[in-house]
Amino acid sequence: MHEQETSQRFERLVLPHLDAAYNLARWLTKRDHDAQDVVQEAFLRAYKAFADFRGDDARCWLLTIVRNACFTHLEKRRSHGGPATSLDEDLHDTGSYDANPEVLLNRQGDRELVRQSIERLQPEYREVIVLREIEGLSYQEIASVANVPIGTVMSRLNRGRQRLQMILSANIAAGDASAAQAKGGVA
């Protein structure tokens, strides 16, 4: 009977955060199949550790487990000769938000553009951006999920956002250039 109670409590407290778990895993691994594997693994670990969980809000607790499972998974992928994850090393940080707001706002709603741009971020920047902008966690919660001090969360968010706006601007410019070319305009 105790096992059933644990299971019911787990379903009630942890299962509602399945979407949050999958969302984070999908953004970090960038592949649906890997994300599903990671989430399954994470839920198994979560169930085993559930006896130690006190409290009502299991979201951050679960996301910590998911996040760790993701980074382990990414490590394995790298060591098996997977593609390099950091594609934005050629970006030079200007240290400020200097994108043109109108250029960005023109493309709001362009999910593909935004999705690709976020995926170009390195995992440690992508992680905090996703947790903040898409999952809506507070700095304190992000710090506990990513297991870093709040100051690190703040600086990673800063750099992550600055990089993201540069990537977005670059992608928009590239897209506009090829569209102009396609129309037979000057290259």
Listed in sequence order, the DSSP H helices in 30-110 are 32-49, 59-79, 101-106
CB of 67 to another protein, least distance (A): 15
Q: How far apart are CA 63 and CA 115, in angstroms?
A: 21
Of the candidate residues 31, 53, 77, 139, the single one contacting another protein (CB under 8 A): 139
Of the candidate residues 63, 137, 145, 146, the single one contacting another protein (CB under 8 A): 137
Q: How many DSSP H helices and E strands does the chain contain?
A: 9, 0
Q: How far apart are CA 179 and CA 108, in angstroms?
A: 18
Contact pattern for another protein over residues 27 through 66, marking x by CB under 8 A: x----x--xx--xx--xx--x--------xxxx-------
Of the candidate residues 81, 83, 109, 185, the single one contacting another protein (CB under 8 A): 109
Choice between 22 and 71, CB closer to another protein:
22
Taking CA atoms, 169 is separated from 82, 92, 117, 181, in Å, by: 28, 14, 9, 18
| One-letter amino acid for residue 23 of the chain | N
Piece of 66-74, 76-84, 105-113, 174-182 that binds another protein (CB under 8 A): 105-113
Choice between 3 and 185, CB closer to another protein:
3
Measuring CA to CA, which residue among 94, 84, 74 is closest to residue 167? Answer: 94
Taking CA atoms, 54 is separated from 17, 49, 166, in Å, by: 16, 11, 42
| 75 lines the binding site for another protein (CB under 8 A) | no
Query: Rule CB under 8 A: which residues touch another protein?
Result: 3-4, 6-8, 10-13, 15-19, 21-23, 26-27, 32, 35-36, 39-40, 43-44, 47, 56-59, 95-102, 104-105, 107-115, 118, 129, 132-141, 154-155, 157-158, 161, 164-165, 168
